[in-house]
A = this chain, B = another copy of it.
Protein backbone atom coordinates (compact mmCIF):
# COMPACT_ATOMS: atom_id res chain seq x y z
CA UNK A 1 0.00 0.00 0.00
CA UNK A 2 0.97 3.62 -0.36
CA UNK A 3 1.22 4.88 3.19
CA UNK A 4 2.14 8.25 4.64
CA UNK A 5 3.52 8.47 8.16
CA UNK A 6 3.53 11.74 10.07
CA UNK A 7 5.33 12.04 13.39
CA UNK A 8 8.67 10.31 13.77
CA UNK A 9 9.37 10.23 17.48
CA UNK A 10 10.58 7.02 19.09
CA UNK A 11 7.26 5.31 18.57
CA UNK A 12 6.50 6.68 15.11
CA UNK A 13 9.94 5.90 13.69
CA UNK A 14 9.69 2.30 14.82
CA UNK A 15 6.20 1.93 13.42
CA UNK A 16 7.14 3.47 10.08
CA UNK A 17 10.18 1.21 9.86
CA UNK A 18 7.98 -1.83 10.33
CA UNK A 19 5.67 -0.66 7.56
CA UNK A 20 8.66 -0.42 5.21
CA UNK A 21 9.86 -3.87 6.25
CA UNK A 22 6.42 -5.25 5.49
CA UNK A 23 6.80 -4.03 1.92
CA UNK A 24 4.64 -0.92 1.98
CA UNK A 25 5.56 2.20 0.05
CA UNK A 26 6.08 4.75 2.79
CA UNK A 27 6.26 8.56 2.65
CA UNK A 28 7.27 10.28 5.87
CA UNK A 29 7.00 13.75 7.32
CA UNK A 30 8.21 15.17 10.59
CA UNK A 31 8.33 18.69 11.98
CA UNK A 32 12.08 18.45 12.58
CA UNK A 33 13.28 17.02 9.28
CA UNK A 34 16.45 15.48 10.75
CA UNK A 35 14.43 12.55 12.02
CA UNK A 36 13.41 11.55 8.51
CA UNK A 37 16.95 10.75 7.35
CA UNK A 38 17.17 7.34 9.00
CA UNK A 39 13.88 6.29 7.48
CA UNK A 40 14.90 7.61 4.08
CA UNK A 41 17.87 5.25 4.27
CA UNK A 42 15.48 2.40 4.88
CA UNK A 43 13.59 3.35 1.74
CA UNK A 44 11.06 5.98 2.77
CA UNK A 45 10.26 9.00 0.64
CA UNK A 46 10.51 12.37 2.35
CA UNK A 47 7.50 14.66 2.10
CA UNK A 48 7.76 18.45 2.11
CA UNK A 49 4.43 19.03 3.79
CA UNK A 50 2.06 16.76 5.74
CA UNK A 51 -0.42 16.83 2.85
CA UNK A 52 2.21 15.32 0.59
CA UNK A 53 2.11 12.23 2.80
CA UNK A 54 -1.67 12.09 2.49
CA UNK A 55 -2.10 11.40 -1.20
CA UNK A 56 -1.83 7.60 -1.09
CA UNK A 57 -4.12 4.98 0.45
CA UNK A 58 -3.58 5.76 4.09
CA UNK A 59 -1.84 8.39 6.19
CA UNK A 60 -0.94 7.55 9.75
CA UNK A 61 -0.21 10.09 12.45
CA UNK A 62 1.70 9.46 15.69
CA UNK A 63 2.15 12.77 17.51
CA UNK A 64 2.67 14.10 21.01
CA UNK A 65 -0.61 15.78 21.79
CA UNK A 66 -3.79 17.47 20.56
CA UNK A 67 -1.98 20.62 19.54
CA UNK A 68 0.46 18.74 17.33
CA UNK A 69 -2.33 16.78 15.66
CA UNK A 70 -4.37 19.92 15.05
CA UNK A 71 -1.39 21.64 13.46
CA UNK A 72 -0.63 18.71 11.19
CA UNK A 73 -4.23 18.07 10.16
CA UNK A 74 -5.91 21.47 10.05
CA UNK A 75 -2.88 23.68 9.36
CA UNK A 76 -1.78 24.98 6.02
CA UNK A 77 -0.57 22.08 3.91
CA UNK A 78 -2.16 19.76 6.45
CA UNK A 79 -3.29 16.22 5.80
CA UNK A 80 -6.88 17.37 6.02
CA UNK A 81 -6.34 18.55 2.47
CA UNK A 82 -5.28 15.11 1.27
CA UNK A 83 -7.35 12.21 0.00
CA UNK A 84 -5.98 9.33 2.05
CA UNK A 85 -7.70 7.50 4.89
CA UNK A 86 -6.37 9.09 8.08
CA UNK A 87 -5.46 6.62 10.81
CA UNK A 88 -4.66 8.45 14.03
CA UNK A 89 -2.42 6.57 16.49
CA UNK A 90 -1.75 9.48 18.83
CA UNK A 91 -3.09 9.56 22.37
CA UNK A 92 -5.42 12.52 21.99
CA UNK A 93 -8.57 13.83 23.56
CA UNK A 94 -11.94 12.29 22.91
CA UNK A 95 -13.11 15.72 21.82
CA UNK A 96 -10.43 16.04 19.14
CA UNK A 97 -11.17 12.53 17.89
CA UNK A 98 -14.80 13.55 17.46
CA UNK A 99 -13.67 16.65 15.60
CA UNK A 100 -11.37 14.63 13.34
CA UNK A 101 -14.21 12.23 12.60
CA UNK A 102 -16.58 15.07 11.83
CA UNK A 103 -14.24 16.97 9.56
CA UNK A 104 -12.33 14.20 7.84
CA UNK A 105 -11.76 14.40 4.11
CA UNK A 106 -12.89 11.93 1.45
CA UNK A 107 -10.63 9.20 2.82
CA UNK A 108 -12.30 9.07 6.19
CA UNK A 109 -10.87 8.78 9.69
CA UNK A 110 -10.04 5.91 12.02
CA UNK A 111 -8.69 6.27 15.55
CA UNK A 112 -6.18 3.56 16.35
CA UNK A 113 -4.16 4.34 19.46
CA UNK A 114 -1.68 1.72 20.60
CA UNK A 115 -0.53 0.11 23.83
CA UNK A 116 3.17 -0.64 24.15
CA UNK A 117 6.47 1.08 24.73
CA UNK A 118 9.22 1.77 22.16
CA UNK A 119 10.73 -1.75 22.35
CA UNK A 120 7.30 -3.22 21.55
CA UNK A 121 6.93 -0.76 18.68
CA UNK A 122 10.34 -1.79 17.32
CA UNK A 123 9.38 -5.45 17.53
CA UNK A 124 6.04 -4.91 15.81
CA UNK A 125 4.34 -6.12 18.97
CA UNK A 126 2.02 -3.22 19.75
CA UNK A 127 -1.61 -3.71 20.68
CA UNK A 128 -3.80 -1.68 18.33
CA UNK A 129 -7.20 -0.43 19.50
CA UNK A 130 -9.23 0.75 16.51
CA UNK A 131 -12.59 2.44 16.09
CA UNK A 132 -14.34 3.86 13.05
CA UNK A 133 -16.22 2.58 10.06
CA UNK A 134 -15.75 -1.14 9.77
CA UNK A 135 -14.69 -0.98 6.11
CA UNK A 136 -12.10 1.65 6.92
CA UNK A 137 -10.61 -0.48 9.68
CA UNK A 138 -10.53 -3.40 7.23
CA UNK A 139 -8.47 -1.30 4.84
CA UNK A 140 -6.01 -0.53 7.63
CA UNK A 141 -5.69 -4.11 8.82
CA UNK A 142 -2.59 -5.07 6.77
CA UNK A 143 -0.87 -2.07 8.29
CA UNK A 144 -1.96 -2.92 11.83
CA UNK A 145 -0.52 -6.39 11.24
CA UNK A 146 2.81 -4.84 10.35
CA UNK A 147 3.05 -2.78 13.52
CA UNK A 148 1.16 -4.79 16.10
CA UNK A 149 0.54 -8.20 17.58
CA UNK A 150 -3.20 -7.86 17.99
CA UNK A 151 -6.05 -5.67 16.84
CA UNK A 152 -9.07 -4.80 19.00
CA UNK A 153 -12.13 -3.30 17.32
CA UNK A 154 -14.09 -1.22 19.79
CA UNK A 155 -16.82 0.48 17.81
CA UNK A 156 -17.93 2.67 14.93
CA UNK A 157 -17.17 6.00 16.50
CA UNK A 158 -13.45 6.76 16.26
CA UNK A 159 -13.39 8.51 19.63
CA UNK A 160 -14.28 5.20 21.31
CA UNK A 161 -10.78 3.96 20.67
CA UNK A 162 -9.32 7.03 22.32
CA UNK A 163 -11.59 6.56 25.30
CA UNK A 164 -10.41 2.97 25.64
CA UNK A 165 -6.78 4.05 25.34
CA UNK A 166 -7.20 6.69 28.05
CA UNK A 167 -9.01 4.16 30.24
CA UNK A 168 -6.15 1.74 29.78
CA UNK A 169 -3.55 4.31 30.75
CA UNK A 170 -5.66 5.18 33.77
CA UNK A 171 -5.69 1.49 34.71
CA UNK A 172 -1.89 1.44 34.57
CA UNK A 173 -1.60 4.44 36.87
CA UNK A 174 -4.23 2.97 39.19
CA UNK A 175 -2.28 -0.29 39.49
CA UNK A 176 0.93 1.62 40.22
CA UNK A 177 -0.82 3.72 42.85
CA UNK A 178 -2.26 0.63 44.50
CA UNK A 179 1.09 -1.14 44.59
CA UNK A 180 2.79 2.00 45.86
CA UNK A 181 0.33 2.39 48.73
CA UNK A 182 0.49 -1.30 49.65
CA UNK A 183 4.30 -1.36 49.50
CA UNK A 184 4.60 1.79 51.58
CA UNK A 185 2.28 0.40 54.23
CA UNK A 186 4.16 -2.90 54.24
CA UNK A 187 7.53 -1.20 54.41
CA UNK A 188 6.53 1.02 57.31
CA UNK A 189 5.21 -2.10 59.02
CA UNK A 190 8.48 -3.95 58.57
CA UNK A 191 7.86 -5.99 55.40
CA UNK A 192 10.11 -5.09 52.52
CA UNK A 193 8.73 -4.24 49.10
CA UNK A 194 10.17 -7.27 47.34
CA UNK A 195 8.61 -9.68 49.81
CA UNK A 196 5.21 -8.12 49.28
CA UNK A 197 5.62 -8.14 45.52
CA UNK A 198 6.52 -11.83 45.52
CA UNK A 199 3.30 -12.67 47.31
CA UNK A 200 1.25 -10.44 45.03
CA UNK A 201 2.70 -11.72 41.76
CA UNK A 202 2.65 -15.28 43.11
CA UNK A 203 -1.08 -15.17 43.76
CA UNK A 204 -3.73 -12.98 42.14
CA UNK A 205 -1.59 -10.24 40.66
CA UNK A 206 0.60 -11.81 38.01
CA UNK A 207 -0.27 -9.63 35.02
CA UNK A 208 2.44 -7.81 33.04
CA UNK A 209 1.30 -4.60 34.70
CA UNK A 210 2.21 -5.98 38.12
CA UNK A 211 5.43 -7.63 37.04
CA UNK A 212 6.81 -4.72 35.04
CA UNK A 213 5.80 -1.89 37.32
CA UNK A 214 6.25 -3.96 40.46
CA UNK A 215 9.93 -4.37 39.60
CA UNK A 216 10.28 -0.67 38.85
CA UNK A 217 8.88 0.13 42.29
CA UNK A 218 10.96 -2.44 44.12
CA UNK A 219 14.19 -1.39 42.44
CA UNK A 220 13.55 2.36 42.24
CA UNK A 221 14.07 2.42 38.49
CA UNK A 222 12.41 5.77 37.80
CA UNK A 223 15.16 7.14 35.56
CA UNK A 224 15.59 7.07 32.68
CA UNK A 225 11.86 7.25 32.20
CA UNK A 226 10.10 4.77 29.96
CA UNK A 227 7.20 7.22 29.88
CA UNK A 228 7.61 10.51 31.68
CA UNK A 229 5.36 11.84 34.43
CA UNK A 230 4.42 14.96 32.40
CA UNK A 231 3.22 12.74 29.55
CA UNK A 232 1.34 10.64 32.06
CA UNK A 233 -0.23 13.74 33.54
CA UNK A 234 -1.22 14.86 30.05
CA UNK A 235 -3.02 11.57 29.46
CA UNK A 236 -4.69 11.59 32.87
CA UNK A 237 -5.86 15.14 32.17
CA UNK A 238 -7.41 13.93 28.91
CA UNK A 239 -9.16 11.18 30.85
CA UNK A 240 -10.30 13.81 33.33
CA UNK A 241 -11.74 15.93 30.52
CA UNK A 242 -13.67 12.91 29.28
CA UNK A 243 -14.92 12.25 32.81
CA UNK A 244 -16.19 15.82 32.98
CA UNK A 245 -17.78 15.62 29.55
CA UNK A 246 -19.53 12.33 30.28
CA UNK A 247 -20.36 12.99 33.92
CA UNK A 248 -18.32 10.24 35.52
CA UNK A 249 -16.88 10.82 38.99
CA UNK A 250 -13.43 9.20 39.16
CA UNK A 251 -11.87 9.67 42.58
CA UNK A 252 -9.01 7.32 41.86
CA UNK A 253 -8.15 9.35 38.80
CA UNK A 254 -8.05 12.43 41.03
CA UNK A 255 -5.51 10.76 43.29
CA UNK A 256 -3.13 9.74 40.54
CA UNK A 257 -3.32 13.19 38.96
CA UNK A 258 -2.41 14.73 42.32
CA UNK A 259 0.48 12.32 42.74
CA UNK A 260 1.75 13.04 39.24
CA UNK A 261 1.67 16.77 39.99
CA UNK A 262 3.48 16.09 43.23
CA UNK A 263 6.25 13.97 41.78
CA UNK A 264 6.86 16.43 38.96
CA UNK A 265 7.07 19.24 41.51
CA UNK A 266 9.53 17.37 43.68
CA UNK A 267 11.53 15.32 41.18
CA UNK A 268 11.40 17.22 37.93
CA UNK A 269 10.04 16.46 34.50
CA UNK A 270 12.33 13.60 33.61
CA UNK A 271 10.91 11.16 36.13
CA UNK A 272 8.96 8.09 35.00
CA UNK A 273 5.21 8.22 35.55
CA UNK A 274 5.61 5.27 37.93
CA UNK A 275 7.22 7.93 40.11
CA UNK A 276 3.80 8.46 41.65
CA UNK A 277 5.20 5.89 44.08
CA UNK A 278 7.69 8.51 45.22
CA UNK A 279 4.84 10.89 46.02
CA UNK A 280 3.21 8.13 48.06
CA UNK A 281 6.43 7.35 49.93
CA UNK A 282 7.22 11.01 50.53
CA UNK A 283 3.82 11.47 52.16
CA UNK A 284 4.74 8.65 54.52
CA UNK A 285 8.24 10.01 55.11
CA UNK A 286 9.79 6.81 53.73
Q: Name A residues whose Cβ lies closer than 8 Å to a Cβ of B.
A: 94, 115, 127, 129, 150, 152, 154-155, 157, 159-160, 163-164, 167-168, 170-172, 174-175, 177-179, 181-182, 184-186, 188-191, 195-196, 198-200, 202-210, 233, 237, 239-240, 242-255, 257-259, 261-262, 264-266, 279-280, 282-285
Q: With A249-B284, A252-B252, A283-B258 in contact, do A152 and B185 touch (Cβ < 8 Å)?
A: no
Besides A150-B203, A189-B245, A189-B246, 7 other CB < 8 A contacts? Answer: A168-B204, A174-B175, A174-B177, A207-B210, A250-B258, A282-B282, A283-B283
Q: With A155-B195, A252-B177, A280-B249 in contact, do A127 and B185 touch (Cβ < 8 Å)?
A: no
Task: Give chain B nearest CB distance to A222 CB in angstroms.
Answer: 16
Task: Give chain B nearest CB distance to A133 CB in angstroms.
Answer: 15
Contact A196 B167 (CB under 8 A): yes
Task: Give chain B nearest CB distance to A154 CB in angstroms.
Answer: 5
Contact B208 A206 (CB under 8 A): yes
Task: Give chain B nearest CB distance to A177 CB in angstroms.
Answer: 6
Contacts of A157 in B (CB 8 A): 190
Contact B259 A249 (CB under 8 A): yes
Contacts of A239 in B (CB 8 A): 185
Count of this chain's copies in the oligomeric assembly: 4
- A-B contacts, 14 listed (Cβ < 8 Å): A115-B203, A152-B198, A157-B190, A164-B196, A171-B205, A174-B178, A185-B250, A188-B265, A205-B207, A240-B240, A243-B261, A247-B284, A249-B280, A258-B283
Q: How far is the CA of A190 from the CA of B283 in the complex (A)?
A: 24
Q: How far is the CA of A216 from the CA of B247 in the complex (A)?
A: 23
Task: Return the contact of A205 from the options B179, B196, B209 (Cβ within 8 A).
Answer: B209
Task: Return the contact of A244 from the options B208, B233, B245, B280 (Cβ within 8 A).
Answer: B233
Q: With A209-B204, A254-B251, A258-B250 in contact, do A181 and B189 touch (Cβ < 8 Å)?
A: no
The 10 A-B residue pairs with the shortest CB-CB distance in the complex, in nearest-first order: A254-B254, A174-B178, A247-B265, A207-B207, A249-B258, A188-B246, A265-B285, A167-B182, A266-B285, A204-B209
